[in-house]
């Protein structure tokens, strides 16, 4: 289970909308020489809302721990990247096969690739709307932050030099 901390922003029946902070993998994210930082600045710093199953009865404003099954994340990522890519290649091959002469074969192949990619994204939208409602792919609120035990570590004798 992949877990992250979030804040409950809105409640609708048994579903909570949570807002999780984006965390960077490196400590130099604010510097401008990093390509990932430039990409993040391009898309903005707006924090998205996520739907999560609220089986524990969290209220608006609660700090919670949200979890998602690793297999669901893996399957979703695989579907997100491979499905459009496979249809892109299939469209390119189909376009190349439909070309009448060798002079237009490249143009047909490129057009088929674009059509395949577009079909991949449209199909992905359809599949994600069908599979996205599945309980397996939904994040779940696991606990409130006050419910989680705090682990205290004490060092006897101080730090050694």
pLDDT tens for 105-133 read 999 999 999 999 999 999 888 877 766 55
How does pLDDT run across 38-56, given as a tens digit for each residue? 666 665 666 778 888 888 8
Distances (CA, A) of 149 to 58, 109, 119, 154: 17, 59, 49, 16
Residue 63 lies in a domain: yes
According to the model, what pLDDT value does residue 116 have?
Answer: 94
Judge contact between 17 and 10, C-beta under 8 A: yes
Residue 43 lies in a domain: yes
Distances (CA, A) of 136 to 12, 65, 81, 106, 109: 20, 17, 19, 42, 38
In the chain, the number of structural domains is 1
According to the model, what pLDDT value does residue 34 have?
Answer: 66
Domain of 14, in residue numbers: 2-23+37-144
- Rounded Cα distance between 43 and 106, Å, is 34
Distances (CA, A) of 45 to 27, 37, 61, 66, 75: 17, 11, 21, 21, 27
According to the model, what pLDDT value does residue 139 have?
Answer: 82
Mean pLDDT for the chain?
Answer: 77
Phi/psi of residue 100, nearest 5 degrees: -80, -45
According to the model, what pLDDT value does residue 150 have?
Answer: 45
Residue 81 lies in a domain: yes
Quick one: pLDDT band at residue 20, thresholds 50, 70, 90?
confident
Residue 7 lies in a domain: yes
Quick one: pLDDT band at residue 101, thresholds 50, 70, 90?
confident
Residue 64 lies in a domain: yes
pLDDT above 80 for 22:
no
- Rounded Cα distance between 54 and 6, Å, is 13
According to the model, what pLDDT value does residue 16 have?
Answer: 85
Residue 85 lies in a domain: yes
Single out the residue of 63, 59, 64 nearest to residue 11, CA to CA.
59
Residue 154 lies in a domain: no
How does pLDDT run across 52-85, given as a tens digit for each residue? 888 888 888 888 888 888 887 788 888 888 989 9
Judge contact between 20 and 47, C-beta under 8 A: yes
Residue 149 lies in a domain: no
Question: Which tokens is 113 given?
Answer: 């690739």
- Rounded Cα distance between 78 and 61, Å, is 34
């Amino acid at each position: 289970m992949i877990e992250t901390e979030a804040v409950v922003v809105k409640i609708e029946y048994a579903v909570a909308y949570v807002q999780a902070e984006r965390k960077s993998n490196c400590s130099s994210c604010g510097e401008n020489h990093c390509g990932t930082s430039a990409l993040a600045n391009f898309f903005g710093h707006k924090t998205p809302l996520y739907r999560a199953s609220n089986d524990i009865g969290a209220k608006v404003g609660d700090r919670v721990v949200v979890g998602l099954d690793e297999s669901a994340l893996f399957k979703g990522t695989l579907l997100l990247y491979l499905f459009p890519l496979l249809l892109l290649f299939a469209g390119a091959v189909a376009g190349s096969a439909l070309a009448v002469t060798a002079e237009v074969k490249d143009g047909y192949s490129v057009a088929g690739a674009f059509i395949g990619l577009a079909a991949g994204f449209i199909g992905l939208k359809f599949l994600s709307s069908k599979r996205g409602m599945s309980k397996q792919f939904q994040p779940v609120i696991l606990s409130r932050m006050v419910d989680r035990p705090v682990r205290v570590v004490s060092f006897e004798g101080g730090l050694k030099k």
